[in-house]
Amino acid sequence: MRVLLIYPIFPQSFWSFEKALQLVDRKAMLPPLGLITVAAILPQEWEFKLVDRNVNTLSDADWDWADLVILSAMIVQKEDFLAQIREARRRGKPVAVGGPYATALPQEAEAAGADYLILDEGEITLPIFVEAVQRGESQGVFRAPNGDRPDVTITPIPRFDLLSLELYDNMSVQFSRGCPFQCEFCDIIVLYGRKPRTKSPEQLLAELEALYQLGWRRSIFMVDDNFIGNKRNVKLFLKELKVWMAEHEYPFHLSTEASVDLANDQELMDLMVECNFNGVFLGIETPDEASLTLTNKHQNTRNSLSDAVDAIASTGLRVMAGFIIGFDNEAPGAGDRIVRFVEQTTIPIAIFSMLQALPDTALWHRLKREGRLMEDVANINQTTLMNFVPTRPLEEVTREYVRGFWQLYDPSNYLNRTYRHFLKLGAPRHKSKLRKVTWKVLRAFLTVCWRQGVARETRWIFWHHLFSILKRNPGVFEHYLSVCALNEHFLEYRQEVRSQIEAQLEEYLKNQRLHAVSESRERDAISATP
């Protein structure tokens, strides 16, 4: 069986960083970890070819080669995902789909023509699918019986060998699935449950060893939605990772996502830094305590959020964080409060979004009951309006959002925050082995210096901070410069956010006015009826 694995295109987004990737001839931030894990679970006598459409083109020869096409996607990839299902059908190829989008909204993949829906987690449903194929069945829906979730200690090492490694900025691995918390808007706990399931330390070390043997020597993102969901197991893993990293002379920089309660566990933070973690993404969402309580994010209300950011940063982990506007009963000015919080805590990369109801989440079901969902299908990026009716006027939330995004990514605000944050981090505890400075790296360095240090009006801030970092914290210089380089992306992206959101808001307000006029005409007609 020849299987063509296709990963659909991501639209431009906050995280796409095209300009920064071009500097170093890379095409995407992260590889399709789900699809290469699928390839590892399927029978190894089958043949596999992976085409990640974010980094490669899909040729006629690829299609002709395939006996079966398998696609996996997140909701943001919806458009290309559905287009590739239709293309597979047009070419007469059987097509199987899975992943978070197909699991949340299987009817959409089915309507596009998918033959096999492999839903829920693949460790359970892929073997059932394989049996069906081997019985000669040409279609089917495969779900985990009784909502079972697999033990991830049985998950094999992903087929990293299928990737064109040089085209990615980071590699990814996963230690755990699931999160113990219950944030109302979160789809992770719907997809993976509230009991974190972790791999064994040996298992994840074997994955890192596989990447090491393939020659990978750059950053690795642990894609867990909450890396510290099971603190006991994560510490056991980190203790072994620490030894492995030292033996291998710290070949990777690591980063991950974690809940804010990381700040309460100094031992855990220290272990992470000792294992060469240099960044962590936190779901802070908002400094408004009432909104956090309402959305069931109680873990963020127990201690001061700004103290938590300080504790994490001063241990040596660069903080990235997510912020959301549009919670129910939010007081006006939420956007400004978020901007103030980000500035005060010096978080360089703050992903700011309007709240969206993702399918099947607790928020989605509540809003559906309350008749407040505006569309059946959620869209989830920074350039789309909210998909439900908020409790304060949508126009007010939207204008605060656009203004906040604009201020956060004002080029001097961004450079100043980044500088202050990197001074907080302190010197790295380990030196990675010195790498040869290649022409590619030198060219990227010169391009950043040209763009930031000559072409932009913020040139003096850039040079001042750069020399100051070299003097006061030289160990973080390379990391600091790579975060500064993202200024180009954010400058362009904030423009994108403003123009797209304002156009949608205009359309929304026009429809509201038309609706109000037609309602008033109807009322007039009724009152004029004798």
32, 158, 279, 283: which one binds ligand SF4 (CB under 6 A): 283
Report if residue 222 touches ligand SF4, rule: CB under 6 A: no
For 424, the token pair is 């907080």
Report if residue 198 touches ligand SF4, rule: CB under 6 A: no
Please, which residue, 189 or 273, has the CB nearer to ligand SF4? Answer: 189
Report if residue 31 touches ligand SF4, rule: CB under 6 A: no
Handedness of CA 30, 316, 259, 384 (dihedral sign): negative
Residues numbered 291 to 320 that lie near ligand SF4 (CB under 6 A) are none
State the virtual CA torsion across 506, 509, 514, 520 in degrees, nearest 10. -160
Please, which residue, 169 or 225, has the CB nearer to ligand SF4? Answer: 225
CA gap 228, 190 in Å, rounded? 18
Report if residue 282 touches ligand SF4, rule: CB under 6 A: no
Nearest to 116 by CA among 91, 88, 90: 88
Please, which residue, 378 or 394, has the CB nearer to ligand SF4? Answer: 378
Report if residue 196 touches ligand SF4, rule: CB under 6 A: no
Report if residue 261 touches ligand SF4, rule: CB under 6 A: no
CA gap 482, 478 in Å, rounded? 6
Please, which residue, 97 or 179, has the CB nearer to ligand SF4? Answer: 179
Report if residue 241 touches ligand SF4, rule: CB under 6 A: no
Residues numbered 373 to 432 that lie near ligand SF4 (CB under 6 A) are none
Please, which residue, 42 or 179, has the CB nearer to ligand SF4? Answer: 179
77, 155, 170, 226: which one binds ligand SF4 (CB under 6 A): 226
Report if residue 286 touches ligand SF4, rule: CB under 6 A: no
At which residue do the structure tokens 């309660």 appear?
A: 261
Please, which residue, 176 or 487, has the CB nearer to ligand SF4? Answer: 176
Report if residue 21 touches ligand SF4, rule: CB under 6 A: no
Handedness of CA 493, 496, 500, 505 (dihedral sign): positive
Please, which residue, 103 or 458, has the CB nearer to ligand SF4? Answer: 103
Contacts of 379 (CB under 8 A, 6+ apart): 75, 356, 387
Residues numbered 496 to 515 that lie near ligand SF4 (CB under 6 A) are none
Using DSSP, how many helices (H) and how many strands (E) does the chain show? 21, 14
CA gap 289, 296 in Å, rounded? 11
For 104, the token pair is 């949340």
Nearest to 414 by CA among 346, 463, 473, 481: 346
For 281, the token pair is 């993404």
Buried b (16+ CB within 10 A) or exposed e, 156-174: ebbbbebbeeebbbbbbbb
* Secondary structure class of 294 (helix, strand, coil): helix
Report if residue 258 touches ligand SF4, rule: CB under 6 A: no
Q: How far is the CB of 256 from ligand SF4 (least distance, A)?
A: 12
Please, which residue, 19 or 197, has the CB nearer to ligand SF4? Answer: 197
Binding mask 147-186 for ligand SF4 (x = CB under 6 A): --------------------------------x-xxx--x
Nearest to 462 by CA among 470, 454, 453: 453
Please, which residue, 181 or 388, has the CB nearer to ligand SF4? Answer: 181
Is 279 in contact with 322 (CB distance < 8 Å)? no
Report if residue 188 touches ligand SF4, rule: CB under 6 A: yes
Q: How far is the CB of 298 from ligand SF4 (least distance, A)?
A: 10
Report if residue 269 touches ligand SF4, rule: CB under 6 A: no
Chain contacts with ligand SF4 (rule: CB under 6 A): 179, 181-183, 186, 188-189, 225-226, 259, 283
